[in-house]
Amino acid sequence: MLKNPKIGEKIIQIEGMHCEHCRQSVASELNKIDGVAAKVDLNKNRAIVSFDRPVEDETLRLAVEKAGFKVVSIG
């Protein structure tokens, strides 16, 4: 959840999501990161992540992997 004004946004392409449960798992893990708000699009296999402080790509990658999925790219 964002507590301050948004300073940036990243799009994460994700491999392996097939259902609503998959989408919710990824969203849950990403939204656990302090200063992050994520919206996961199952149809486009991506997450749009807004943040109110600097967030390392590796932090985002680890959250997606913890949910059980593979990051294709972060941009």
Model confidence band, residue 62 (pLDDT cutoffs 50, 70, 90): very high
pLDDT in tens, 9-50: 999 999 999 999 999 999 999 999 999 999 999 999 999 999
On whether the 8-74 domain is CATH 3.30.70.100, my answer is yes
With a cut of 80, say whether residue 1 has pLDDT above it. Answer: no
Q: Which residue has the higher pLDDT, 1 or 16?
A: 16
- The domains of the chain are located at 8-74
With a cut of 90, say whether residue 7 has pLDDT above it. Answer: yes
Contact 6, 50 (CB under 8 A): yes
Q: Residue ranges of the alpha helices (H) in 1-75?
A: 20-31, 57-66
DSSP state of 3: S
DSSP state of 46: E
Q: Which residue has the higher pLDDT, 68 or 3?
A: 68
Can you read off the two tokens belonging to residue 2?
């964002």
pLDDT of residue 3: 83
